[in-house]
Structure formats: C-alpha cells, structure tokens
Chains A and B, each alone.
Chain A
C-alpha cells in the first residue's frame, strides 16, 4: 500500500509540466514592454538607473507617494505579469533580492550614523527589511499564500525560482509569482566601485573583448509567473533548475546530464550566460562553454540590462521571450549570427565562481 502511494507520487512528480506564463520588466531598457528585443538601448555609462513607467495605471498617486522606487517597480511588474497570465488565485509570491530595500536601509543607517540615535523615525526601518518587497506585493494583492524572500548574493533570483519549481512539482502550489528585485543607489554604486565592481568606460566592444575586471550597473525588476497548464500566451516550459555550490567539473557535468535526461532533451540549441565584461567572471563562463557546450551558440543579456545581484532574472526573461518568438536577436548573440528556430536554451549563471545555477527552458 505504501509502495503504491509512493509510485503514484513519483509519477505525478515527473509528469507535471511547468510553464512560464508571462513576464514583465522594469530596467534600464524601456519599461513594461519588449522594445529591447528589436530596439535595445545600448548603455554607455557605468551607472544606469531604471527607466520608470507611469505608475498611475497600477498604483493610486496617494499610495505611490508613500512607496520607495523598488516597491513601485515590484508592484508594477507583478501586476503586469499576473494580468498577462490571467491568474486569478495566486498561490505564492517568491522574491529574490541581493540587497533588499537599500534606499530605506541607507536612510535609516545614514541618519543613525550621522545624526545619532536620538531622533530616528520608524518608517524607513519598517520598510528596510528584505522581505518588505514580497510582503508589500502580497498586501497589494491581498494574497495570503506562501510568501518568501531569498537574499543570496548573485543567485537570489534562482533560489526563488527553484523554490517555486520544487513546490509546484511537489503539488504544494499550482502557480507562483517569482521575481528578481534590486535597486542600485548612488552610495551603494560607489561602495561597490571601491571593491572592483565597475568599469570606467562602457561600450559593446569593451564588454565583449574585455581584459579587465568589473562591469556596469543596472537595476532590476523582473517578474515572471509560473503555472502548470499551458495557455496561448505561455512563453516557454521551465524544464528544471539546479543550484550548485562550488561544483567540481564532474558534478557540473552530472547536473547537466541529469537536467537533459529528466527533460528528455538530447541537444541544447544555445546557452545563455551572464557574461558582463568582468574578466574574472567571464573566464568562468567561457570555460563552462568550452568544457560542456563547445559547439553551441552563446547568448548574453547583461550587455543590455547591466549587472545587478538579480540580473539572472533577465537571463530567464530574455531566454523565455526568445523561445516564444523562436529567434535570438543579433544583439543577444555573443558569438556568431542570430539564431533561428530556437527550441531549447540552458541559462547558466555563477556568482564569483561559488554559487552556480542551471535553468533549462524549452519551447512550448
């Protein structure tokens, strides 16, 4: 009896398909649209803030005045993605954020350090915790469902995506809103500059042929929805996701093999990498490509979205969009020509060669 129950359970686990139903972004590209696909803005500066949309269609002006930039972006991308996906009852809100609500944290910290402990106000503290984003989205949607926030450096978004994926596979939830959210304040940009995060000069050529460390900063708000039933608007299938900490070559090979076997996919059409012009990180990506996918086209996305702790969410977003449209545009191809009739993309990301993630996406 027990054995039978387990059998049914594991079959259910393996057969259930998960789809990326919709996606929305606010970034250094034109917001809440796919202009970046045909007409990307090519960044030329080391520091770039997101282009803000008109928030009136999402948030009342009164509510809007009380919200920080990051919260407004999170609500707008979340609402936009949910609307496209036509999800009525949301089961989970899961956010990845490398730095959380930096602006509010800085306001409270700066007041405490510069003016002392006597006259501090609670507002910025209340809104400083990392999970303010997930909880404000839940509050806005009146969603009592599962709510979680990951803050794990450069793999915060993938941790969130993995959580949603696993809970859907286990049958605990039927759908999820997963997002990557990070803002880059001027002070934080300067601080990260001191430890080698940024270049002084940026161009596509510099990024592609870089011999120096550092990249350029963007900001990130990218929301996607996941569901178990495909719809006409579904972008792609999320086949599987694997998180790896300091994997050996053998472990990485095994993870790739497992992903492909589980998905019953024999060949991958392209790999989407977090190449950013930061030589020490790019070398790891190039070695990965050389070792495991020597003959495959390489795609990138940080060249148009910039670097942030949750930038990998743009990797998934761009790959999903390319699968829906069946083509990878020229400016996202790191080597070679644009890719036609694309059916499978492996998104690979690493943070300082410690945390690594593999996400396998395929055409619906």
Chain B
C-alpha cells in the first residue's frame, strides 16, 4: 500500500473568492460568481464572465510583493492558490527531499502582451514584458516566490492543462524522481481568449446552463488551484494528514477535430475508462462525476454520451460547476479537483445551476440542487482543444 498517492494540501482562487472556505460556502449557497466584466478592457462588455475579485495590486499586497515588481496576473493568482496548498501540506515546515512544481497555463503573459503589443513592435517603452509572454515565465515567477522546488515545468494543453499537470506530478513521484509535487493550473482572463471564444460563437450572454437543452455556450472565468501530492507513507512520516487519495488518472486524445468532440465522445470515453482502470475501480464505485460540462452544445452532448457509454445504467450523480466559476480554462482541472475534494470531504453533490430540461436524445441529467450524500470515490473530467481529454479519481482514505 505504500505506493498509494495522497493529496495533502490544496488551495484555490476563483470568482468565488480566495481559498477553500469561500469556495465551499459559495457552493453550498448555490451562489454563482458569473457577472459583469470589471477588470478586462473590451468592447464586449455585454459578455458575462467570472473574474477573481481582486486587482493585481491587491494580490501583490496579500503576498508582500512590491507594487513595482514585474509580475503578470496569471502567476499572481497562482501564488495565492499555491500558498494555501503549500501551507496546508506543511511543505515549508517539514520539507520533502525533492519537490516538483507542475503548472498548467495556456494564455501565459498574454494579458500584458495584448496591451503592449504595438510597443513591443515599435518602441522600447514596455519591452520588459516581452520576457513575461511565454507560458513558462509565469511558472518560474511562482517557483521563485516559494524557492522550494527542485523540478519545475509547464503543461500547455488548453482546458485540460491542470489535470495533465496532476498526471505528470503523480508519475514523477511514482517513478521516484521527486518526493512531492505541487500540481495544478492558473489562467487569468485575457482580451485575446475572450475574443477567441467569442469568434467561435460559444459564449453564452447569460449565466451558462450546462447539460440543459436550452444551453447557449460557456462563460469564461479566471482562477488558479493547486494540489500537493505525495506518497501516503511520506505524508505519515512528515506528520501530515491526507485529505484524500489520488486513486487513478488517464489522458487520451479524441483525434477527431481541433475544437469539436467526436459524436460518440471517444476521447472522453477513453479518459474516464482509463482512470477507472488505473484506480482499479468499477463504474458502480463512483459516487459523483464532476463533469467538464462547459455549457456548449457540442461538449455537453458528447460528454453525456461518453458518460453513458462508461457508466450505462449505473450513471452516478454528476454536475458541472462551470456556472459557479465560469470556465477557468487551464485552471479548470485543478479548480474542479478542489471542488471535488471538498464534496468528498463534506459529503455533498454540488448543484448544476440553471438546468431547465434534459438534452434531446440524452437519457441522463445532472444533479440540480446541492445534495447530501456519503461519498467514497469522485471522478473529475477536463477536456481541451485538440481533443485533449483527461480524467482523474479522488477517493476517501480507507
């Protein structure tokens, strides 16, 4: 049993606020964070989003980072979330020998690049932000803030980035390359991807309605979340109480289309099935699926088909929490991992807000109200552009 991987810390920031407690309170109160745009400068101010309710300056103050220090919003949110996870896992007090930091992000420093792009090309007034543009730059900023990591890398697989970061971290520990890993993702909103998703015509002008026949697209959100992973034995030796077990995970590729999922949900099917196999669990063992459920026509239909293919008659309670947080893209996998673990610890099924009616030709429907339920195993899904499909399972410590 010593090979068992456990989660010993977690931290989150999203539209729901800073920290696990704020997140749990909002979930139980069924309080959506999707609303009018506050920070991002765009002509599309009729598009609802879920922004982290702190300015960059406010986050710098929280973190004792000097106002003049050059750091973009994505790593700032990342540091806030990682700090909570690191403190809970007592990584500073009782440091594991080698710690990895595996970070998922896709937009990187784009929120500054899009402001200063003309300057980058034509003058030298903001050239200091050129080096902050790539995805890895923010990862290094986060790693340097804590100064405790022995390995760092950045995953960039769009909306499945954070679960993939979890997979990489878990494998690094299993292979004996590191003793613990801080894994997850961070992504701030940018005018770039707000416009990108808008051109795809998949942004709902109201709060999103995942898995509902009348769904009209997704809401973008921003956020960051991280988990601390280590072997159960190491956690015991460090005197840290595990929150849960990471019992299985898998990633597969749909290999169908750059932005659409195959009609039979092959990639999502393989990811869920793979995670079950990895965990040595059967479909009937899963008590709740935290679905990807973006609210787009294509995702929710194909995910439902894939869930039915995997679980059949035994489809457990499932819901999408995207109407709470918006779609936090590269952070979604870890934000929703934190939500899954909160549900596991507190024995409840989060509500799928705004559900009106079952999707045509689909036989399953989500859990629409917060519901008390004894939980043992929870599955969390994240699917990204390019058919990048990942799934993981968290289990109560037996």
Q: A residues near B, CB below 8 A?
A: 2, 6, 9, 13, 93, 97-100, 108-110, 112-114, 116-118, 120-122, 125-132, 134-136, 138-139, 141-153, 155-156, 159, 162-163, 166-167, 169-170, 172, 187, 190-192, 194-195, 242-245, 247, 251, 309, 354-355
- Complex Cα spacing A192 to B386, Å: 29
CB within 8 A of B177: which of A114, A166, A194?
A166
Are A152 and B258 closer than 8 Å at their CB atoms? no
Are A113 and B164 closer than 8 Å at their CB atoms? no
Q: Which residues of B contact A129 (CB under 8 A)?
A: 106, 156, 158, 385-386
B22 CB-CB contact with A under 8 Å: no
Q: Which residues of B contact A247 (CB under 8 A)?
A: 150
Residue of A nearest to B160 (CB): A131
CB within 8 A of B196: which of A100, A125, A156?
A125
CB within 8 A of B156: which of A127, A151, A194?
A151
Q: How many A-B residue pairs have CB under 8 A?
A: 213
What is the CB-to-nearest-CB distance from A175 to chain B, in angstroms, rounded to a whole number?
15
Are A112 and B114 closer than 8 Å at their CB atoms? yes
Residue of B137, B197, B199, B256 with most partner-chain A CB within 10 A? B199
Q: Which residues of A contact B253 (CB under 8 A)?
A: 93, 134-135, 138, 143-147
Which of B122-168 touch A at CB < 8 Å? 124, 127-128, 130-131, 134-137, 139-140, 143, 149-158, 164, 168
Q: Which residues of A contact B200 (CB under 8 A)?
A: 122, 125-126
Are A122 and B153 closer than 8 Å at their CB atoms? no
Q: Which residues of B contact A114 (CB under 8 A)?
A: 118
- Complex Cα spacing A128 to B130, Å: 18
Q: Which residues of A contact B193 (CB under 8 A)?
A: 125
Are B254 and A170 closer than 8 Å at their CB atoms? no
CB within 8 A of B157: which of A122, A131, A141, A166?
A131
Residue of B nearest to A110 (CB): B117
Are B113 and A109 closer than 8 Å at their CB atoms? yes
- Complex Cα spacing A354 to B44, Å: 40
Known: A159-B153, A194-B130. A166 touches B172 (CB 8 A): yes
Are A116 and B388 closer than 8 Å at their CB atoms? no
B121 CB-CB contact with A under 8 Å: yes
Beyond A131-B157, A147-B252, 10 additional contacts (C-beta under 8 Å) are A2-B1, A109-B192, A120-B198, A125-B193, A131-B384, A144-B252, A150-B156, A151-B135, A191-B127, A243-B177
Are B117 and A109 closer than 8 Å at their CB atoms? yes
Residue of A nearest to B152 (CB): A245
Are A194 and B386 closer than 8 Å at their CB atoms? no
Q: Which residues of A contact B43 (CB under 8 A)?
A: 116-118
Residue of A nearest to B200 (CB): A122
Q: Which residues of B contact A110 (CB under 8 A)?
A: 117
CB within 8 A of B2: which of A6, A155, A191?
A6
What is the CB-to-nearest-CB distance from B184 to chain A, in angstroms, rounded to a whole number?
15
Q: Which 5 A-B pairs have the closest CB atoms?
A: A135-B386, A125-B196, A153-B136, A147-B253, A122-B199
- Complex Cα spacing A146 to B197, Å: 26
Residue of B nearest to A99 (CB): B134
Q: Which residues of A contact B150 (CB under 8 A)?
A: 244-245, 247, 251
Are A117 and B153 closer than 8 Å at their CB atoms? no
Known: A108-B196, A194-B130. A142 touches B255 (CB 8 A): yes
Are A144 and B270 closer than 8 Å at their CB atoms? yes
Known: A112-B192, A132-B258, A146-B253. A117 touches B164 (CB 8 A): no
Are B154 and A150 closer than 8 Å at their CB atoms? yes
Q: Which residues of B contact A355 (CB under 8 A)?
A: 136, 140, 152-153
B112 CB-CB contact with A under 8 Å: no
- Complex Cα spacing A2 to B114, Å: 55
Instruction: Encode contact with A along B54-83: 1 for CB under 8 Å, 0 otherwise.
Output: 000000000000000000000000000000
CB within 8 A of B386: which of A117, A125, A147, A187?
A147
